[in-house]
Amino acid sequence: MAEKKRVFSGIQPSGRLHIGNYLGAICNWLPMQDDHFCIYGIVDYHAMTVHFNPEEMEQCIFNAAIDYLAAGIDPERSILMVQSTVSEHTELAWVLNTITPIGWLSRVPTFKEKRQANPDYVHMGLFDYPVLMAADIVLYKAEVVPVGDDQVPHLELTREIVRKFNSMFGPTFPEPKAKLGDVPRVLGLDGVNKMSKSLDNCLYLDETREELWKKLSTAVTDTKRKRRTDPGDPLVCNIYTMHKGFSPDKDVEYCARECRAAGIGCIDCKKILLENMIQALGPLQERQKDLRSKPAVVYDILKNGHDRAKKIAIETMREVYERIGISKYHKH
Ligand code: TRP
């Protein structure tokens, strides 16, 4: 049997997960475990490129591990590891740095955005972020990278770096492809901006029924639908987007039809969504609680992930050293 294609994706250890992360990323990742070999890295070095608190970093990594395990990353089939524990990530990033023109990096949209948002915090790591990301991916020769649409330019850059490396030193890395999720961008409760912690417009995965309802009940829907008797347009409604992520087809169809016909109001539609959300999130929250009470299990999973990732990383680097002509000095 042919070997399964490799998948790599990075998890930012930046705090609580929200519904946007869940539908946009996690739901995209989980089914890949069936027919791919998946490696998921908690990217602590990437998290260091923005303001961070060293006293909270360990806890953030732990929380990220718990969230993703509870959501369904299966450590028997997939690798869950902490990026900085496999030093080959940064070693390969250095090699890739030496072939990546500065011009390519200065065109990256996320760099331009972050520089503008935080002019006092522009450093080499921020500039180089996409090269470390490229190293994360190609270190495992991943061919598929499940990501949100904001990461697509980074993947394009990775492919350019791969092409350049392969043409300079011989065919070594496959060109990875981005895989976008089925649920389009999930907006925040304001119905305008992307769901994001910094905008305080999120539903979180660990919220109770009461908390979820409090937020959902006031969430913005189709703003043109002023009265219960007005027909609405599900296609411009963020609640409908969430339905597509959480509800069975029959509920999605029902809500779309009845919204257009003014058969149900927004509150009815939100109640159906709430029930379907709880169906998915309830068991997830149970698993979160369970893992939180067993930190040793989580550390073991990460240690095992490290060991398995390290093996692949060492193999790839051996090949890279060969290609760039320094392998003689790595043979001890
Ligand atoms: N840049 C990604 C993000 O912000 C995280 C990430 C780091 C990543 N390395 C990666 C994603 C490698 C995919 C592959 O979400």
C-alpha 139/C-alpha 240 separation (Å) is 39
Distance CA 178, CA 7 (A): 10
The reply to whether ligand 1 has any atom less than 6 angstroms from the CB of 133 is yes
> Which CATH architecture best describes the domain 209-289?
Orthogonal Bundle (1.10)
Q: For residue range 27-61, what is the model confidence (pLDDT) as tens digits?
A: 889 999 999 999 999 999 999 999 899 999 999 99
Is the pTM higher than 0.85? The answer reads yes
Secondary structure (3-state) at 107: coil
Q: Using CB atoms within 10 Å of the CB of residue 285, give its burial: 0 to 12 exposed, 13 to 18 middle, 19+ buried.
A: middle
Distance of CA 293 from the midpoint of ligand 1 (Å): 28
d(CA 231, CA 72): 38
Do the domains 209-289 and 6-186+295-330 match in fold? no
> Is any atom of ligand 1 closer than 6 Å to the C-beta of 6?
no
Cβ-contact 61, 42 below 8 angstroms? yes
Q: Which tokens sit at 129?
A: 């972020």
What is the separation of C-alpha 61 from the centre of its chain, rounded to a whole number of angstroms? 14
pLDDT at 53: 94
Task: Give every residue of the chain whose pLDDT is below 50, as ranges.
Answer: none
Q: How far is the CA of 140 from the centre of ligand 1 (A)?
A: 14
Looking at 197, 215, 271, 310, which residue is catalytic?
A: 197
pLDDT of residue 1: 55
Beta bridge partners of 178: 145
Does the domain at 6-186+295-330 match CATH 3.40.50.620? Answer given as yes
Q: What is the pLDDT of residue 182?
A: 79
Task: Return the domain boundaries, the chain.
Answer: 6-186+295-330, 209-289
Is the C-beta atom of 137 inside 6 A of ligand 1? Answer: yes
DSSP code per residue over 169-186: H-S-S---EEE--SS---
Closest ligand 1 atom, residue 146 Cα: 13
The 3-state DSSP class for residue 194 equals: strand
| C-beta of 9 in contact with ligand 1 (< 6 A) | yes
Is the CB of 114 within 6 Å of ligand 1? no
Ligand 1 midpoint to CA 42 (Å): 9
Q: 114 an active-site residue?
A: yes
Is 178 within 8 Å of 130 (Cβ atoms)?
no
Distance, CA of 332 to CA of 328 (rounded, Å): 9
